[in-house]
Amino acid sequence: MAAVFAAVLCISASAPAQATTDALDQSQVLIISYQNSLKLLAQTFTAGATGGLDRVSLAADTTFANISVTIQTVNPTTGAPSGTVLGTSNYSGSLLCCRQFHDFAFNPAVAITGGTHYAIVVRVLVGAFTWYTS
């Protein structure tokens, strides 16, 4: 059974630094269950806007983990992540308490095109990571 992962995608407009603003592309905030003890987790999405994806916010907990969050293209035949990485956010540490959203930043921002399918892929390198789902 497929699960929908709770995530928030933020797109930054291309503009000078003092004028840059965030625009929420899409979100899923209903949290019912969770996935953990898996070394590889992924959620596909269709970009609602064209721009630079500067972060994803995931409802997650970990007492300690080294993880890599990537944005990947999606294989049009299988609908699964293709392995082509467009951007990476590495994290090492704790994300404690209460199914809260935590930001994973991409620098530089990942260029995405509205209407195109992408995947958020979380690879757990060390430790355990819980991604809350709906």
All structural domains of the chain, each given as residue ranges with its CATH number in brackets, are 7-133 (2.60.120)
Q: Which residues pair with 66 in a beta bridge?
A: 92, 126
Mean pLDDT in runs of 10 for the chain (134 residues)? 48 46 74 78 93 92 91 96 96 85 94 96 91 80
pLDDT at 10: 56
The pTM is what? 0.81
Q: How far apart are CA 103 and CA 113, in angstroms?
A: 21
CB 83, CB 117: distance < 8 Å: no
pLDDT at 35: 79
pLDDT at 84: 96
33 contact partners, CB below 8 Å, separation of at least 6? 3, 132, 133, 134
pLDDT at 128: 87
Q: How far apart are CA 60 and CA 50, in angstroms?
A: 27
